[in-house]
């Protein structure tokens, strides 16, 4: 027996109240009607708990995957003998989606969809245990963001930032954490990273950067990078971070004027078509 809300949700055939008002008696078992709930229901029946609550994902033809909280409640008669089970389905899909969305927003940068500074700092704290040594950090700073903003507007500057984020996302390993930690600043932390692995990631970044600029002449990207590697024990992760930052600024000084000249030549050639995507 099920109420109308359950019948509509589960798309089950039947007439409300049939077993109560009909003289015909049919032996219909839940495990036959809802086989996807058979294991949990059988475990409840064979146990001694009055009530059990479980979470379960149910794939439905029309509604897609729904996140359900299912409560089994044992019905007892006046002599406390088992007379049946009440099952209550609560559809928490929408609330779950909101929770997941809020969690995503709290740890991700809205513009680039990379991790944000808060998550990056949490990751650094986690790695301080030393269980993921050696640890590498790559610092990355976008070149020319101010000149692009001042010349073409903040929409163009946003495209420069999102293009940089896409390049970094394609370059890192699965377990690496790439984050936007400031306006034009990005950082990548690489746990369990050997010198060879660090070199490979840096080479992939350079490769993806060059590939992007060949394929997107109207979206020219340049950034300065610095990298450092070491063990994260006893607060030394801060030293690794500072070393990467120092190497990045050395690279920045070399590339600052280069980017201005490159941008000016491209602007003279393309004008407002630059970053007009």
Total domains in the chain come to: 2
Active site includes 184?
yes
Check which CATH number belongs to the domain holding 37 and give it. Answer: 3.30.450
* Residues 157, 92 share a domain: no
pLDDT at 99: 84
Within a domain: residue 150?
A: yes
* Residues 112, 93 share a domain: no
Which residue, 39, 63, 97, sits at the end of a domain? Answer: 97
Within a domain: residue 26?
A: yes
Q: Residue 2: how many CA atoms within 13 Å on its side-chain side? A: 19
Within a domain: residue 102?
A: no
pLDDT in tens, the chain (277 residues): 778 888 777 775 555 555 555 566 556 677 777 888 888 988 998 888 999 999 988 887 777 788 889 999 998 888 878 888 899 999 888 888 888 888 888 899 999 999 999 999 999 888 888 788 999 999 999 998 998 999 999 999 999 999 999 999 999 988 899 999 998 999 999 999 999 999 999 999 999 999 999 998 888 999 999 999 998 876 678 889 999 999 999 888 878 788 888 888 888 888 888 887 6
Given the residues 100, 109, 184, 245, select the one marked as catalytic. 184
Within a domain: residue 52?
A: yes
Say which residue the tokens 């089994």 belong to. Answer: 72
Within a domain: residue 8?
A: yes
pLDDT at 13: 52
CA dist 77 → 45, 73, 74, 85, 222 (Å):
16, 13, 10, 12, 76
Write out the residue range of the structural domain in which residue 75 sits: 4-97
Report the C-alpha gap between 85 and 1 in whole angstroms: 11
pTM, two decimals, is 0.70
* Residues 123, 93 share a domain: no
pLDDT at 25: 58
* Residues 177, 68 share a domain: no
* Residues 112, 90 share a domain: no
Within a domain: residue 69?
A: yes
Contact 221, 213 (CB under 8 A): yes
* Residues 18, 137 share a domain: no
Within a domain: residue 235?
A: yes
Which residue, 41, 65, 97, sits at the end of a domain? Answer: 97
pLDDT at 162: 95
Q: What is the DSSP string of 190-204?
A: ESS--HHHHHHHHHH
pLDDT at 77: 83
* Residues 87, 67 share a domain: yes
* Residues 129, 239 share a domain: yes
Which residue, 97, 117, 150, sits at the end of a domain? Answer: 97
Phi, psi of 50, rounded to the nearest 5 degrees? -75, -35
User: CA 257 from chain center: how many Å?
Assistant: 37
pLDDT at 276: 79
* Residues 219, 91 share a domain: no
* Residues 140, 88 share a domain: no
Check which CATH number belongs to the domain holding 147 and give it. Answer: 3.30.70.270
Within a domain: residue 242?
A: yes
Q: Mark 172-182 as b/e (b = at least 16 C-beta within 10 Å).
A: beeebbbbbbe
* Residues 23, 48 share a domain: yes
* Residues 79, 120 share a domain: no
pLDDT at 178: 95
């Amino acid at each position: 027996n099920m109420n109308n809300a359950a019948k509509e949700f589960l798309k089950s055939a039947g007439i409300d109240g049939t077993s109560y008002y009909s003289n015909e008696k049919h032996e219909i078992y839940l495990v036959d009607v809802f086989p996807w709930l058979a294991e949990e229901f059988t475990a409840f029946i064979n146990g001694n708990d009055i009530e059990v609550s479980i979470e379960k994902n149910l794939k439905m033809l029309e509604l897609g995957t729904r996140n359900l909280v299912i409560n089994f409640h044992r019905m007892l008669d006046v002599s406390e003998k088992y007379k049946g089970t009440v099952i209550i389905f609560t559809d928490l899909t929408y609330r779950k989606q909101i929770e997941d969305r809020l969690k995503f927003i709290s740890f991700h940068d809205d513009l680039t969809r990379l991790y944000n500074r808060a998550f990056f700092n949490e990751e650094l704290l986690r790695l301080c245990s030393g269980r993921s040594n050696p640890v590498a950090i790559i610092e990355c700073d976008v070149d020319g963001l101010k000149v692009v903003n001042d010349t073409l507007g903040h929409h163009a500057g946003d495209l420069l930032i999102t293009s940089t984020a896409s390049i970094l996302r394609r370059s890192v390993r699965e377990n690496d954490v790439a984050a936007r930690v400031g306006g034009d600043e990005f950082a990548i932390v690489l746990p369990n990273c050997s010198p060879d692995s660090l070199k490979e990631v840096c080479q992939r970044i350079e490769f993806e950067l060059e590939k992007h600029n060949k394929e997107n002449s109207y979206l020219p990207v340049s950034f300065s990078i610095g990298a450092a590697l070491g063990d994260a024990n006893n607060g030394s992760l801060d030293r690794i971070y500072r070393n990467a930052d120092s190497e990045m600024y050395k690279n920045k000084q070399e590339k600052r004027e280069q980017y201005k000249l490159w941008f000016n030549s491209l602007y003279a050639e393309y004008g407002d078509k630059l970053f007009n995507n």
